[in-house]
Chains A and B, each alone.
Chain A
Amino acid sequence: AQSVAQPEDQVNVAEGNPLTVKCTYSVSGNPYLFWYVQYPNRGLQFLLKYITGDNLVKGSYGFEAEFNKSQTSFHLKKPSALVSDSALYFCAVRDEGTGRRALTFGSGTRLQVQP
C-alpha cells in the first residue's frame, strides 16, 4: 500500500530565511509526488509535482521540491520565506504500479513564518 509521512506537525521560520518542509513516501511502483497548500477553511491549491525527469521541480510562488529516490523523499523548499507563506502544506503520492488514480496524502505540516 502507498503511504506518505510528514514528520513535522509544524515548522517555524523567520521571514527571509530558507524553509524546508519534509516528506517521505512508500510505494510499490513508480511514484507521482505532489505538494498542495491549504489556507484556513479553504480547499487545497496545487503547488508542484514530480512525475519523471529532473529531480528538482519548480512550482508556484517560488516553491521547489527535490525528489530523492534513494531516500524516498520529496522535501518542499523555498529560498526566502514570506509571512504570506504561512499555511498548511500537504505532500501526496500516487503509485503508478497500482492503477489507483486517487492521491494518498500525508498528515500535513503547518508552516508558520514570523515577521
Chain B
Amino acid sequence: DGGITQSPKYLFRKEGQNVTLSCEQNLNHDAMYWYRQDPGQGLRLIYYSQIVNDFQKGDIAEGYSVSREKKESFPLTVTSAQKNPTAFYLCASSDHLQDRDPFFGPGTRLTVL
C-alpha cells in the first residue's frame, strides 16, 4: 500500500541539539510539505518542495532546514536555533501534475527536555 512513513513516532532531544525527522513517501508524488502543529494554532507550514532539489520556506522556517535529494524523501532538521521546538510535526505530499489532495503522514512528536 502506498503512503507516507514518518520516523520516529516519538522523539526526545536535549536543548541545544539538532535533530532530523524522517519523511518517506512511496506515492510517487512530486510535492512534499512539512507542517508544525501546536495546540490551538492549527497547522503551520515550515517548508515545502515542489520538485527534487528545490524547496521554499513556508510561514515559520526559522530554525529549521530541509533537503530534497530524492523524490521519495524530505527530511526536516530542527536546529538549536529553533526557540520552541516541542511540537507535533506532520509531513505531507501531493501529486503536482494530477492535482491530488495532500496526503498526510502519521506525524512525529518532538519533545525538548
Contacts and interface: CB of A to CB of B under 8 A. Distances in A.
B is a partner of A? yes
Interface of A: 4, 6, 9, 34, 36, 41-46, 49, 90, 101-108
Contact of B42 (A43, A49, A108): A108
Given A107-B40, A107-B41, A102 B103 contact: no
Contacts of A43: 4, 90, 104-107
A104 B44 CA distance: 7
A105 B106 CA distance: 17
Contacts of A36: 104
Interface in B1-50: 4, 31, 33, 35, 40-45, 48, 50
A105 B58 contact: no
B68 interface: no
B74 to A, nearest CB: 13
A41 B109 contact: yes
Contacts, number: 49
Contacts of A104: 45
Interface of B: 4, 31, 33, 35, 40-45, 48, 50, 58, 88, 90, 92, 94, 96, 101-107, 109
Contacts of A44: 43, 90, 92, 104
Contacts of A9: 40
Given A43-B104, A43-B105, A106 B42 contact: yes
Contacts of B43: 44, 90, 105
Contacts of A108: 40, 42
Contacts of B4: 43
A9 B41 CA distance: 10
B3 to A, nearest CB: 10
A70 B41 CA distance: 26
A46 B107 CA distance: 15
Contacts of A107: 40-42
Residue in B31, B48, B101 with the greatest tally of chain A CB atoms within 10 Å: B101
